[in-house]
Structure 1
Amino acid sequence: MSHPPLDARLEAVLSLICADTHADIGSDHAHLPIRLIWEGRIGRGVIVELNPGPLALARRNVVRARLEGVLEVREGDGFDPLAPGEVESASVTGMGAGTIAGILRRAGERRPPALVLQPNDSPAPIRVWAREHGYHLRAERLIPGYWPYPVLRLEQAGGEDPAYAGLPLAAALRYGPHLLREGSPVLRRQVWADVVRLTPLAAPGRTAQTELETAQAALEVLGGNGQ
């Protein structure tokens, strides 16, 4: 049986997951957990889906892949269908960053020590949440697509997150500390586009002024011209 295809953002999510037990929250078609099993990245998976259509689709795809013994599909909201400590890691993809942060806040003791997250907009709320809840940012990707898709891996750890050391905090939260250090072309284009967009809007006291200063600080870390 051929492996279910994943787009570039979910391939990036896949590459950052490795655990014995993993939950995919809001899985939709279940292609990601199926691939995780087939590629040996997880030993057992729990698929959580709230909406009836995607829930039925996930169940059909798991049966079609003959993985009922290692992938369990559960109906529910966020981490509610999981027991505390049941999984080592979890993924939440394809939602707004604010929605993902809300799911993580509500998870409480059900939240596992490793998280791989792919928001569809600025991941700043997730980075802020992680710093406040004892998760360190271990890896980041920025995948070109309809817009640049960020992918983050967080792991529970004590103390200050070393990823942010020596960087302007506002720029690191907005654009990502690892991404700023790596200076990928995708990030350079994004920061430069922000500078161009915000420059005519900026004036003292305006939100655009603060955002422009953040983008300019990021540009400085990247070494000048973002193009």
Structure 2
Amino acid sequence: MTLPALDARLEAVLHLIRAEVHADIGTDHARLPLRLVRGGRVSRCVAVELNPGPLALARRMVARARLTEQIDVRQGDGFAPIQPGELGSASVTGMGAYTIRGILDRAGERLPPALVLQPNDSPLWLRTWARENSYHLRAERLLPGYWAYPVLRLERAEGPDPAYADLPAAAALRYGPLLLRKGPALLRARIEADIERLTPVAAPGREAWAELAAAREALAVVDAG
């Protein structure tokens, strides 16, 4: 069986995963677990899907690939079908950041020591969640697509996250500390677009005022780099 192709965002997710046991939460058709197992990036994968249609297709895809011993397809909401301590890492992709944060909040002791997250909007909610829940940011990517897709790898660790050291907090949380240090063209374009969008509407006391200040601070960091 020819393995399914992944788009650029899921290819980026794939390359940030390496574990003995991994779970893909909201797996849809199990494309990512199939590639992870066949590529040797994980020994075993749990593919979790809530909706019956995609769940049935995921099971068929795994059976056709003859990987039922290595990929366990389970029906459930978020991390509910996972046992505490079962995983080395997990991925949650293709959802809004607020939705992903809700899934993480409900997971409790089922959360693994490493997470790879790909929200479809600003990952500010996820960076804030990580800092509040003792996860450090280890890698960030920004991928072109219908919009710029962020991909984050988080790992459980104690103490302040060194990724944010010596950076303005608001700018780093909004745009990504590791991305700000690298200053890719896609990030610069996003920051400049935010400044152009916010400048006409920003006024003291409005949310846009703080957002504009963060964007200007981010641009200054990128220029200094």
Matches within 5 A, 1:174-189: 174-189=174-189
SS across alignment from 1:223: helix
- Structure 1 residue aligned with 2:92: 92
Query: Hey, what does 2:25 align to over in structure 1?
Result: 25
Q: Partners of 2:187 and 2:104 in 1: how far apart?
A: 26
Offset of residue 64 of structure 1: 1.1
What amino acid maps onto 2:182 in structure 1?
Answer: E
| CA distance in 1 between partners of 2:62 and 2:70 (Å) | 9
Correspondence for 2:131: 131
Superposition map of 1:30-109 within 5 A:
30-109=30-109
Counterpart-to-counterpart distance in 1, 2:53 and 2:168: 44
**Count of residue correspondences:** 224
CA distance in 1, matches of 2:166, 2:111: 30
Match of 1:195 in 2: 195
Cα distance in 1 between the residues matched to 2:2 and 2:182: 34
Residues 140-160 of structure 1, C-alpha deviation per residue, up to 9 Å, x if partnerless?
000000000000000000100
Residue 3 of structure 1: how far off its partner (Å):
2.1
Could you state the TM-score of these two structures normalised by the residue count of structure 1?
A: 0.97
Q: Structure 1: how far apart are the matches of 2:158 and 2:205?
A: 37
Match of 1:101, SS state, is helix
1: distance between equivalents of 2:57 and 2:213? 46
Partner Cα separation in structure 1 for residue 4 and residue 43 of structure 2: 18
Q: Is 2:179 the counterpart of 1:173?
A: no
- Cα deviation, 1:48-99, whole Å, max 9, x if unaligned, reads 0001111111111101111001000000000000100001000000000011
- The percent identity for this pair of structures is 69
Supply the AA of the counterpart residue of 2:208.
Answer: A
SS in 1 for 2:221: helix
Give the whole-Å Cα distance in 2 for the aligned partners of 1:75 and 1:204: 49
Aligned with 2:100: secondary structure?
A: helix
Q: Secondary structure at the match of 2:181?
A: helix
Letter in 2 for 1:214: A
With normalisation by structure 2, the TM-score equals 0.98
The aligned residue for residue 210 of structure 1 is 210
Determine the C-alpha separation between the residues in 2 that align with 1:20 and 1:202: 49
Q: How far did 1:181 drift?
A: 0.3
Matched residue type, 1:6: L
Structure 2 stretches of 5 or more lacking a match? none
